[in-house]
Amino acid sequence: MPDNRPVGVFDSGVGGLTVLRTIHDRLPRESTIYVGDLRYFPYGPRRSEEVRRRACAIGRYLEHRGVKTIVVACNTATSAALDTLGQTLAVPVIGVVRPGAEEALRRSDRGIIGVVGTEGTVRSQAYAHALRALDPSVTVHQRACGRLVDLVEMGAAGSEEASSLIEGIVHDFVEDRRCDTIILGCTHFPLVKPVFEAVAGGRATIVDSASSTAHTTQSVLDHLGLVATDETPSHQFLVTGAADTFTEQARLLFGEHVDATEIAIQDQEPVAMSAQELLTG
């Protein structure tokens, strides 16, 4: 039986739209609800406990809205909260770390992989754990670059500063550490993937988790019999901060107009929250 309930997707800001876009491309009949947690952007520098609370609050909100699965379109939130979400929610939850790790291992020849992400993602060691769980012989090097996240979010992905940062990252991974594959461990980074590829010049394969996460989402929906057949799917954009800010950022980054609605999602301990308490917007 077809299931036309929406897919829930969330991130701290606009970066998760890279994942949402690939889901739309791969699964054009799926309706979606996207939540951008602008009130708490960015997640990267925050303590993992705080990110976990926010992720659980948003997860329960989306579950209350009737989604059939939830995609955590944020590496930091995946690292901090995926296990908790999987244990506390009744719908399947998909993160971006494991799909990216699987893709990197498939494309790596020497098993030396670099990961660039936010402070929170690197601190959590999520990619290192995921990669080594799949292949204990892999060598993993990691580097945090929160400034690159900020530049992309500001619409300055093509700036000289962004290019300089990317050149330094690639040089560190490829020349100094001999990585043959680099994982872009932040959902903002697919927007600068062409720059990474140009700087790498074929010396390393650049992997982003957006496309692999969309593929995993399709596989989960297929396996569980949740695929939609809706000829006219709907797409909602909800934000916990200023909707006009989100709309402008989406326009700068994607050249698209997005109609966003501002909501409030209470920040409470996951065990203390009910679905009704979370729905305040």
Q: What percent of the chain has pLDDT over 70?
A: 95
Q: Which domain holds residue 41?
A: 7-95+212-278
User: Per residue of the chain (281 residues), what is the pLDDT tens digit?
Assistant: 789 999 999 999 888 999 999 999 999 999 999 999 999 988 988 999 999 999 999 999 999 999 999 999 999 999 999 999 999 999 999 999 999 999 999 999 999 999 999 898 999 999 999 999 999 999 999 999 999 988 987 888 889 999 999 999 999 999 999 999 999 999 989 999 999 999 999 999 999 989 899 999 999 999 999 999 988 999 999 999 989 989 988 887 777 788 999 999 987 544 433 333 333 33
Q: What percent of the chain has pLDDT over 90?
A: 77
Q: What is the DSSP letter of 171?
A: I
Check which CATH number belongs to the domain holding 25 and give it.
Answer: 3.40.50.1860
What's the pTM? 0.88
How far is 273 from 89, CA to CA, in rounded Å? 12
User: Could you give the number of structural domains in the chain?
Assistant: 2
The verdict on 205 and 216 lying in the same domain is: no
The verdict on 199 and 255 lying in the same domain is: no
The verdict on 83 and 219 lying in the same domain is: yes
Residues identified as active-site? 74, 186
The verdict on 224 and 256 lying in the same domain is: yes
DSSP labels, 180-237: SEEEEESTTGGGGHHHHHHHHTTSSEEEEHHHHHHHHHHHHHHHHT-----SS--EEE
How far is 258 from 253, CA to CA, in rounded Å? 11
Residue type, 205: T
Please indicate, yes or no, if residue 166 is contained in any of the structural domains.
yes
The verdict on 108 and 241 lying in the same domain is: no
